[in-house]
Amino acid sequence: MRPENEIKEPDEIADDPSSLEIEVLTDPRELDGYDLIWRISTESSSKAVIEAGVKLLIQMHHEVTGELEEHIPEYEQQYIDKCFIIIQDQIKAMDQRSEEEQAEINLQLDNISPLASFIQRLRAFPVEERRVALSLNLLRQMIRASEKDGTYSVRPHSSLAESKLLDKVRVFNNIKTGSDFRTSFELRLDSSMTVWDIKKLIGQQVIL
């Protein structure tokens, strides 16, 4: 048995983040502990805490009462703005380092194994680099969450103007195998496409 005063590691005691269900009744920024959750989610090096933090922050900006659903795009923008504010603050802090401090940190970063996992890298990062990495992860997870059900044919405001044809993008396929397997294919994209549109195009090509 564990001694009663032994502190358990966060990975051991964290509940499954997917089991959490909430309904927000106000602007997420008005919730008690809002800034604290952001700080924990962008400073932790515990996989369980990071995953729970991502789940909670996305839910806080998406899982709102029916009366507030029309404001979800605004809440998503607040989430994005918060990530960039954190990143910009860390860049300012890094710029204040002396040459000696930065040289020591660079040496520390160079010693990280290329085979290290994301969590292992985080644990070797100074807090500023860790907050940047976790903020970028939060942005990536918000993109996934906001487009997981598609865009319902709703176009972003920026795409309402005439779009521009982009250069061809070559996609390399390392998933499908068999007689009809294609190692790569090209896509013609334009500037009005969303991430969801690109995913659909790739999916159509892969199943051909």
Give the least confident one: 1-10, 21-30, 109-118: 1-10
Domain count, the chain: 2
Residue 3, pLDDT score: 41
Q: What is the mean pLDDT of residues 184-196?
A: 71
For residue 93, which phi and psi values (nearest 5 degrees)? -65, -40
- 75 plus 175 within the same structural domain: no
For residues 109 and 169, membership in a common domain is answered with no
Does residue 70 sit in the same domain as residue 36?
yes
Say if residue 159's pLDDT is above 70.
Answer: no
CB 147, CB 112: distance < 8 Å: no
Among residues 96, 120, 146, the one where a domain terminates is: 146
Is residue 69 a part of any domain in this protein? yes
Regarding predicted confidence, which is higher, 66 or 160?
66
* 76: Cβ contacts below 8 Å, ≥ 6 apart: 61, 62, 142, 146
Reduce the DSSP state of residue 169 to 3 states and report it: strand
Average pLDDT over residues 156-182: 61
Q: Which of 45-59, 168-182, 186-200 has the highest mean pLDDT?
A: 45-59
Please, what's the largest Cα pairwise distance for the chain?
67
Give domain status of residue 152, yes or no. no
The rounded percent of the chain whose pLDDT value lies above 90 is 47
Model confidence at 10: pLDDT above 50: no
Q: What is the pLDDT of residue 197?
A: 73
Quick one: pLDDT band at residue 172, thresholds 50, 70, 90?
confident
**Residue 59 within any structural domain of the chain:** yes
Domain that holds residue 53: 10-146
Average pLDDT over residues 146-170: 56
- 136 and 44 in a single domain? The answer is yes
Is the pLDDT confidence value at 149 over 60? no
**Cα 109 from Cα 180, distance rounded (Å):** 43
Mean per-residue pLDDT, 45-69: 92
Of the chain, the percentage scoring pLDDT greater than 70 comes to: 70
**Given this model, what pLDDT does residue 182 score?**
65
Residue 40 and residue 121 in one domain: yes
Residue 21, in any domain of the structure? yes
Read off the DSSP letter of residue 32.
T
What pTM value is reported for the model?
0.65
> 19 or 28: which carries more pLDDT confidence?
28
Task: Say whether both 133 and 68 belong to one domain.
Answer: yes
Q: How confident is the model at residue 171 (pLDDT cuts 50, 70, 90)?
A: confident
